[in-house]
Amino acid sequence: MSSVTLQTLKQRKLNGEKFTMLTAYDATFSQVVSEAGIEAILVGDSLGMVLQGHDSTIPVTLEQMVYHTQSVARGNRGALIMSDLPFMSCATLESALNSAAELMRAGAHMVKLEGGRWLAETVTKLNQQGVPVCVHLGLTPQSVNTFGGYKVQGREQSAALQMLEDARVLEEAGAACLLVECIPTLLAEEITENSKVPVIGIGAGPHTDAQVLVLHDMLGITPGRTARFVKNFMPGSNSVTEAVQKYASEVKNGTFPGPEHSFE
């Protein structure tokens, strides 16, 4: 049992206190990030891009997610571990249940899946089986081919209304938290205000209950151009731990993300 639980995160939302999440894929960074006070670690399928050099998360397999979740669990010092259900693992209810079981056995405390209200039954069944679920809305990277690129989602009114309805339906179905990626600040604010469960944002402005970034992005070691919502916390920091702590304090005092990291 980690010392940060889902109850901790829910209480933070109730108290109006922000919390932080970072990705980690191995034991060393898991230890660094959790000891620096980050409340939640995401074993993201972004590892397909960050570690494996693919141009999307689509090639990542369940077996690889299990391997990295086990590594993160060994290094963790008290954070809540959330692991991604990879591409197509939720195509059927049976596959979603079996895949989530593998991740939980590997050391995850909850799972994240990408999609909308059509996943309501899956969310309910997972929850009934003791698997807390975070639903990823907005720019869901596993659907990059459907979107035609990594683009901001929810800018048109109809898309924004659909996302608000997805969030409502999935929360009612039992989602333990929501994660919104690359959506306009005002839409993220509305989703956060309407939700009783914590809402974690990335490229979604400053009003969500929590923020997440890919660790390698915020350490400035991602090659090439990074997304607008990324901030490099290494300049001025003497160590990785210091950069992670700076990220946490800027999220908590509301200075990160700024308008330059957000979308209208």
CA 68/CA 81 separation, integer angstroms: 11
DSSP reduced 3-state for 21: strand
- Report, in Å, the least distance between residue 180 CB and ligand KIV: 9
DSSP bridge pairs for 179:
136, 200
Closer CB to ligand KIV, residue 123 or residue 212? 212
- Report, in Å, the least distance between residue 182 CB and ligand KIV: 9
DSSP reduced 3-state for 115: coil
- Report, in Å, the least distance between residue 88 CB and ligand KIV: 15
With tokens 């997805």, the residue in question is: 166
Taking CB positions, which residue lies at the least distance from ligand KIV?
A: 44
* 94 touches 143 (CB < 8 A): no
Residues that bind ligand KIV (CB under 6 A): 23, 42, 44-46, 84, 136, 179, 181, 202, 212, 214
CA 138/CA 233 separation, integer angstroms: 25
List, in order, residues 6 or more apart from 174 with CB less than 8 Å away: 123, 124, 126, 127, 128, 133
* 183 touches 164 (CB < 8 A): no
CA 258/CA 185 separation, integer angstroms: 11
Closer CB to ligand KIV, residue 47 or residue 238? 47
Q: Which of 156, 181, 250, 260 is catalytic?
A: 181
- Report, in Å, the least distance between residue 64 CB and ligand KIV: 12
Closer CB to ligand KIV, residue 44 or residue 206? 44
Rounded to the nearest angstrom, the gap between the alpha carbon of residue 132 and the centroid of all alpha carbons in its chain is 14
List, in order, residues 6 or more apart from 180 with CB less than 8 Å away: 136, 137, 138, 163, 187, 188, 191, 199, 200, 201, 202, 204, 208
- Report, in Å, the least distance between residue 157 CB and ligand KIV: 25
Closer CB to ligand KIV, residue 96 or residue 179? 179
Judge whether 171 counts as a catalytic residue. no
Closer CB to ligand KIV, residue 15 or residue 187? 187
Distance of CA 4 to CAs 13, 37, 84, Å? 14, 10, 19
Closer CB to ligand KIV, residue 15 or residue 146? 146
- Report, in Å, the least distance between residue 242 CB and ligand KIV: 22
Residues classed as catalytic: 181
